[in-house]
Amino acid sequence: MTKTEFTVTQAHWPADRAALRAVRETVFVAEQGVPLALEWDGDDASAFHLLARDPRGLPIGTGRLLPDGHLGRMAVLAPWRGRGIGTALLLRLIERARDQALTAVTLNALCTATPFYERAGFVAEGPIFDDAGIPHQRMRLSLAND
């Protein structure tokens, strides 16, 4: 399989809820042990969502942008990691933030994922903190003067 054997499109809540849920519950709940009640936080209705799909149309990755510029719920199913899907999702979310004239985007990254976000220009802010029993790092990307 090559990196180009996936598509990334805008997803719409609640129409694409089942597809988003399939990825997020696999990655966050089953794999990382996040309690189901914490995964579904009530922000989905106001968020801009992206959905990556494999060549058969099955959901393999997600990400969202909240109106305040917070990126989150970035998830790629394990068999698809390392194929450019996370990067494609992240770049599209940043593009959307620029289109909305946001001056910065923030996210709370798993500490193990900070190098991924640093490659995209994000900078760590503040101390490492616990979220759902997992160490996270707040990160920020300035979009001003781009």
pLDDT of residue 2 exceeding 90: no
Neighbouring CB atoms inside 10 A of 16's CB total 16
- In a domain, residue 103? The reply is yes
How many folded domains does the chain comprise? 1
Q: Is residue 115 part of a domain?
A: yes
Domain membership of residue 37 as a residue range: 7-142
Residues of the chain with pLDDT > 90: what percent? Answer: 93
- Is there a domain that residue 2 lies in? no
Give me the pLDDT at residue 146, please. Answer: 52
CB atoms within 10 A of CB 129: 12
DSSP structure string for 47-88: SEEEEEE-TTS-EEEEEEE-TTSBEEEEEE-GGGTTSSHHHH
Q: For position 77, which CATH number holds? A: 3.40.630.30
Residue 31 is classified by DSSP as I
Any domain includes 26: yes
Strand, helix or coil at 19?
Answer: helix
Does the pLDDT at position 144 exceed 90?
Answer: no
Report angle CA 47, 61, 89 to the nearest 5 degrees: 65
Above 50 in pLDDT, residue 1?
Answer: no
pLDDT digits (tens, 9 = 90+) for 33-81: 999 988 999 999 999 999 999 999 999 999 999 999 999 999 999 999 9
Asked if the structure places residue 92 within a domain, the reply is yes
pTM score, two decimals?
0.94
Contact present, 86 and 74 (Cβ < 8 Å): yes
With respect to residue 1, please indicate whether it lies within any of the assigned structural domains. Answer: no
Residue 145 has pLDDT above 80, yes or no: no
pLDDT of res. 74 = 98
